[in-house]
Amino acid sequence: MPYRWTTLYMPACAGPGRGRARRRAFDDGAAARPGGSMKRGHVTMAGCLLAGLGLVLPAMAWELEREASRIELIGTADGREAVTRVEAFDVELEGDPDDPTDGSLVLTLDSASITSGSAMVDEMLHGRNWFDVASHPEIVFRSTAIHAPAPGELRVDGELEVLGETYPLEVPVGWERDGERVRAEGRLSLDRTDFDVGRGAWRSEGTVKHEVHVDFAFELVAP
């Protein structure tokens, strides 16, 4: 079962000359007790150990099944459907498997992995007028809240960071759990110009339409 550990740094445990106030609290407490004769160092160490045990908390982290997951960007170019894939991405999802609304999500896309299957088109997509991968190697979505408006449905509110700017974004997600596995999928329709994607001559809809559909499916294993 995968875990991520969160620890709290305790100045009183950091050695001589640090955390005096915290040490004093432990020492005063020992002196106030009947028969409180523990040595100063022993009291401080005991306090640090107890505090450390109490402040190391497991945060459950889901595991992404990469082979069963996908992200596709579907647009229209020259009057035909154009499908672009994101081949490298990572999903960091933490929370209670029985209550996803209590969790958090970070989705990171490798901009250089966006591919149409055509070297010529990919060179254009990776250039300054589109995803500018040299200056902005990642596209990141971070959740700020997760809602469950109906069984099997989630609404993820968050912020999308693309081309150095951050935009609010709401993502509808279908959510299905089967034992220890979860499938999250959905489609999001966006106007690429709202995110300044497709600059210069590509700003118009003469060749590439503004509307882009983001299709995604993630297979995750619960902790």
Q: For 99-130, how does the pLDDT look when each residue is reduced to its tens digit (9 = 90+)? A: 889 899 999 999 999 999 999 999 999 999 99
The larger pLDDT score, comparing residue 160 to residue 40, is at 160
Contact 57, 6 (CB under 8 A): yes
The larger pLDDT score, comparing residue 20 to residue 191, is at 191
**What are the boundaries of each domain within the chain?**
3-58, 61-221
Q: In this structure, which topology does domain 61-221 adopt according to CATH?
A: Lipocalin (2.40.128)
pLDDT at 154 over 90: yes
CA triplet 131, 137, 139: central angle to 5 degrees? Answer: 70
Predicted confidence at residue 172, as pLDDT, reads 97
Cα dihedral 149, 152, 155, 158 sign: positive
Cα(215)–Cα(81) distance, rounded to whole angstroms? Answer: 14
pLDDT tier at 180 (50, 70, 90 boundaries)?
confident
Mean pLDDT of the chain: 80
Q: For 35-64, how does the pLDDT look when each residue is reduced to its tens digit (9 = 90+)? A: 444 444 444 444 444 344 434 344 567 899
Cα dihedral 163, 169, 174, 176 sign: positive
Percent of the chain with pLDDT over 70: 72
Cα(162)–Cα(145) distance, rounded to whole angstroms? Answer: 20
Q: For 207-221, how does the pLDDT look when each residue is reduced to its tens digit (9 = 90+)? A: 999 999 999 999 999
pLDDT (mean) for 90-105? 87
Q: For 128-150, how does the pLDDT look when each residue is reduced to its tens digit (9 = 90+)? A: 999 999 999 999 999 999 999 99
pLDDT tier at 160 (50, 70, 90 boundaries)?
very high
- Spell out the long-range contacts of 190-195 with Cβ–Cβ below 8 A and sequence spacing 24 or more: 190/214, 192/75, 194/167, 195/160, 195/162, 195/163, 195/165, 195/167
Cα(89)–Cα(108) distance, rounded to whole angstroms? Answer: 6
Residue type at position 203: R
